[in-house]
C-alpha cells in the first residue's frame, strides 16, 4: 500500500488500531452533541473499493501507466498494487494500460493540454458482478474503437458496459458532461439492502457496498418507521435510502441535484416496485425551504449531504417541517459537528451517533446520527 498516493493515511496501521483512532476522534469531535456508539467495523477490510479511478500518464521512456495524484499535487503516482481497490478492477486497469500502448492512444498531458486519454473509471457491482468501464477522453472519437472494445472484452468478458466520457476542459473534475456508450447498456446494476439499483457513470454510489448495507440498515432502523410516515430523503443520489425506506413508510419524497442520478432513481423505484416514492431534481435547501413555506409536513427526514455538509437554509427549513426524527448521514464529521450546532439552536439534539467504518485504511469515517426534537419545541401544525 503506498501512502504517497494520498489515498490511505492509515497505511500500515493495524486494523484494530485504526478503529480505536477513529473512535477516539469521533468521541472528541461529536461527543458533546450526544452519545457516540462503538464504530461498526468491516469484517474483511481489504479490496473493498468497487469504484476505481486512475489518472493516465506516460513515464520518461514513453510507457503508459496509471495511478493517483500524489497528495496536494498533480504528479501521478503509479499504482502497482492497492490494498483497497477491487482486485478485478485493478487487473482491468493494467489491461487498459497495455491496450493504450498497443493502440497508440495519445495520453493527455495536463501541462500542454494535448492528448486523448485522461482517466479511467471502473465500477463493479458487488452482488451483480457487472462492470462498467468509463474512458475519459478529450474527444468523443476513440481511434480503433471497435477493436479496442473487442480486445478489452476478450481479456475481461465480465465487463458489461463501456462508456466514453468527454472532458476537454482544464479542470480537476474527472468526468465531463457528455457520455457516449460504445458497448452494453451504459450503466450497471447492483443490489443493496434487498433492492436493485441502476448506476450511471456520473451518479453517486457508495464505494464500499458491504459497509453501505450496514449504513443503510442502521439509518432505516434509527428512523423507527411504522408504515404511516411521510419521509423526505434529501441528497438522495440514485434513490437508495428512500427506496429502501419506502417499504416501511406511507410515502417518500426524494430530492437530488444531479439529473443523471435522478433519472437512475426514477428507474430504480420502478424496478423495485416502490410506487410511493416521488423524485425531485432540485437543490435540497431550496426545495425544503419551499416545502416549509407551503406548510407541508414530514414525519422523518433522511439527509445525506456531500462532505461539505448541509446549509443553514436547509436546517432551518427542516426544523420548520417539524419531523419527529432526522437521520443525518455524514461522510464529513467536521461539517456534521458544524451542522449539529445549528440543529441544536433549532431544537434538535443527537440521541445517538453511530460511526461506520466505510473507508478502512484511510482516515475517513462515515457517521449516522439520529436527531430528535427536544422537549418543549414541538410545533403546532
Ligand atoms: N444518499 C445517496 C447519495 C449521497 S451523496 C446515497 O447514499 O447513495 C450526496 C448526494 O448529494 C450526491 O448525489 C450529490 O449529487 C447530491 N447533492 C450535492 N449537493 C446537493 C444539493 N445542494 N441539493 C441536492 N443534492 C445535492
Per residue in 79-96, pLDDT tens?
989 999 999 999 999 999
CA of residue 307 to ligand 1 center, whole Å = 10
Look up the pTM and report it.
Answer: 0.91
- In short, whether 284's Cβ falls inside 6 Å of ligand 1 is yes
pLDDT at 381 over 60: no
Q: Hey, what's the cell of 98?
A: 497495455
Residue with cell 492528448: 115
CA 282–ligand 1 middle distance (angstroms): 10
Which residue minimizes the CA distance to atom 22 of ligand 1?
283
- Would the pLDDT of 210 be above 50? yes
State the pLDDT confidence band at 111, using cuts at 50, 70 and 90: confident
Pairing of strands 131-137, 325-330: unpaired
Residues carrying an active site annotation: 331
Q: Could you give the C-alpha distances from 218 to 121, 221, 327, 370, in angstroms and in order?
A: 29, 5, 10, 10
Ligand 1 neighbourhood includes 258 CB (under 6 angstroms) = yes
| Separation between Cα atoms, residue 324 and residue 378, nearest integer Å | 9
In the chain, the DSSP E strands lie at 51-58, 64-69, 76-78, 117-124, 131-137, 159-166, 178-183, 188-192, 195-199, 230-234, 251-256, 277-281, 300-303, 325-330, 348-356, 366-373
| pLDDT, the chain, mean | 94
Amino acid at each position: 500500500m503506498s501512502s504517497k498516493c494520498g489515498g490511505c493515511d492509515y497505511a500500515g496501521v493495524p486494523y484494530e488500531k485504526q478503529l480505536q483512532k477513529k473512535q477516539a476522534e469521533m468521541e472528541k469531535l461529536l461527543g458533546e452533541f450526544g452519545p457516540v456508539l462503538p464504530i461498526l467495523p468491516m469484517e474483511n477490510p481489504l479490496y473493498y473499493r468497487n469504484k476505481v479511478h486512475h489518472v493516465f500518464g506516460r513515464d520518461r521512456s514513453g510507457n503508459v501507466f496509471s495511478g493517483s495524484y500524489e497528495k496536494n499535487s498533480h504528479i501521478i503516482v503509479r499504482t502497482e498494487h492497492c490494498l483497497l481497490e477491487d482486485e478485478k478492477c485493478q487487473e482491468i486497469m493494467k489491461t487498459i494500460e497495455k491496450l493504450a500502448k498497443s493502440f497508440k492512444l495519445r495520453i493527455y498531458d495536463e501541462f500542454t493540454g494535448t492528448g486523448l486519454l485522461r482517466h479511467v473509471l471502473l465500477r463493479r457491482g458487488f452482488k451483480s458482478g457487472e462492470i462498467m468501464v468509463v474512458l475519459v477522453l478529450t474527444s468523443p472519437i476513440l481511434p480503433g474503437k471497435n477493436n479496442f472494445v473487442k480486445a478489452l472484452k476478450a481479456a475481461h468478458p465480465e465487463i458489461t458496459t463501456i462508456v466514453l466520457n468527454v472532458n476537454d476542459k482544464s479542470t480537476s473534475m474527472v468526468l465531463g458532461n457528455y457520455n457516449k456508450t460504445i458497448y452494453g447498456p451504459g450503466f450497471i446494476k447492483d443490489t443493496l439492502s434487498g433492492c436493485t439499483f441502476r448506476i450511471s457513470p456520473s451518479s453517486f454510489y457508495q464505494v464500499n457496498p458491504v459497509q453501505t448495507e450496514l449504513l443503510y440498515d442502521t439509518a432505516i432502523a434509527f428512523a423507527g418507521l411504522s408504515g404511516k410516515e411521510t419521509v423526505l430523503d434529501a441528497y438522495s443520489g440514485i434513490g437508495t435510502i428512500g427506496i429502501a425506506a419506502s417499504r416501511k413508510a406511507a410515502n417518500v419524497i426524494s430530492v437530488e441535484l444531479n439529473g443523471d442520478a435522478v433519472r437512475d432513481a426514477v428507474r430504480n423505484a420502478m424496478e423495485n416496485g416502490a410506487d410511493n416514492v416521488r423524485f425531485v431534481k432540485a437543490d435540497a435547501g431550496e426545495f425544503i425551504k419551499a416545502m416549509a413555506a407551503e406548510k407541508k409536513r414530514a414525519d422523518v427526514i433522511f439527509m445525506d449531504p456531500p462532505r461539505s455538509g448541509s446549509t443553514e437554509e436547509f436546517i432551518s427549513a427542516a426544523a420548520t417541517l417539524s419531523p419527529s426524527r432526522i437521520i443525518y448521514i455524514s461522510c464529513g464529521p467536521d461539517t456534521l459537528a458544524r451542522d449539529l450546532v445549528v440543529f441544536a439552536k433549532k431544537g434538535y439534539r443527537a440521541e445517538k451517533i453511530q460511526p461506520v467504518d466505510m473507508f478502512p485504511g484511510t482516515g475517513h469515517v462515515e457517521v449516522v446520527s439520529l436527531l430528535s426534537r427536544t422537549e418543549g419545541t414541538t410545533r403546532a401544525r
